[in-house]
Amino acid sequence: MGSLRDYKHWDIDWEMTPEDAVTLYLEWGNHPWNSKFSPVTSKNDYTNYFTVYMWDEKPRIIFVRRNSEEARELLSIELPKAIAERFRKSVGGLKGNYAINDEVKDWIETQMNN
């Protein structure tokens, strides 16, 4: 799957959340008029974004490429222990698939540039 450095020059939508991706790409017609995202108009529309996957013992980030047909997992990396614990606390220890926060984004960007 590679490393974060491999995706350094990709177009990344840092504002995309798992919820927004589902609304845009899986629920066509459910696009709110005041959305910060442009509506999906074809199967060629896609987004690349990060999410924090909290379903496993060790939280990890997943880099996803989504269009109206699929969500492809491009990269999966465990978060460093300290960041993972702070993130887990911030979501009340609940399992789920979450938008990245500023600390996770900063860590991703640092790893991309190392």
Flag whether pLDDT at 56 surpasses 70: yes
Share of residues in the chain with pLDDT > 70 (%): 83
Rounded-to-integer distance, Cα 13 and Cα 89, Å: 25
Of residues 31 and 2, more confidence is placed in: 2
Domain boundaries, the chain: 4-113
Q: Which residue has the higher pLDDT, 34 or 108?
A: 108
pTM here?
0.84
In the predicted structure, residue 45 carries a pLDDT above the cut 60: yes
**pLDDT level of residue 44 (50, 70, 90 thresholds):** confident
User: What letters, b where the CB count within 10 A reaches 16 and e where it falls short, cover 42-69?
Assistant: eeeebbbbbbbbbeeeebbbbbbebbee
Instruction: Look at residues 87, 86, 85, 81 and name the one whose alpha carbon lies nearest to residue 50.
Output: 87
pLDDT winner (highest mean) among 18-22, 26-30, 72-76: 72-76
Look at 64 and 22; give whichever has higher pLDDT: 64
The answer to whether residue 92 scores a pLDDT higher than 90 is yes
